[in-house]
Structure 1
Amino acid sequence: MSGTDINQVLAQMRAMAAAAEGNKTSPAAASDAGKPDFGKLLEESINKVNEAQQHAGNLALSFEAGNPNVNLGEVMVALQKASLSFEAMTQVRNKLVSAYQEVMNMQV
Structure 2
Amino acid sequence: MSDINAILSQIRGYQSQLQTPVARPVADAEGVRGADAIGGAAKTPGFSETLSSMVKGVSNAQAESGALQRAFELGDPRADLARVMVAQQQASVAFKATVEVRNRLVQAYQDVMNMPV
**1:80 is the counterpart of 2:89:** yes
Between Structure 1 and Structure 2, which shows a larger proportion of strand residues? 2
CA offsets per residue over residues 42-95 of structure 1, 9 Å max, x none? Answer: 000000011001000100011011111110000000000000011111111110
Higher relative contact order (CA 8 A, sep 6+): 1
Gaps of 5+ in 1: 15-31
Between Structure 1 and Structure 2, which shows a larger proportion of helix residues? 1
Match of 2:46 among 16, 32, 37: 37
**1:70 is the counterpart of 2:79:** yes
Q: What letter corresponds to residue 59 of structure 1 in structure 2?
A: L
Q: Which residue of 2 aligns with 1:27?
A: none
Q: Which residue of 2 aligns with 1:10?
A: 11
Instruction: Please tell me whether Structure 1 or Structure 2 has the larger radius of gyration of its CA atoms.
Output: 2
Rounded to whole Å, the distance in 2 between the matches of 1:41 and 1:103 is: 21
- Percent identical pairs in the alignment equals 42
Gaps of 5+ in 2: 1-5, 16-40
- Please identify runs of 4+ aligned residues in structure 1 that moved more than 6 A: none
| SS of structure 2 residue aligned to 1:57 | helix
Rounded to whole Å, the distance in 2 between the matches of 1:13 and 1:56 is: 19
Kindly tell me the number of residue pairs found equivalent between the two proteins. Answer: 86
CA contact (8 A) 1:12 1:41 kept: no
Q: 1:94 to 1:44 in 2, by over 3 A?
A: same
Q: What letter corresponds to residue 108 of structure 2 in structure 1?
A: A
Task: Give the TM-score taking structure 1 as reference length.
Answer: 0.71
Task: Give the TM-score taking structure 2 as reference length.
Answer: 0.66
**1:97 is the counterpart of 2:106:** yes
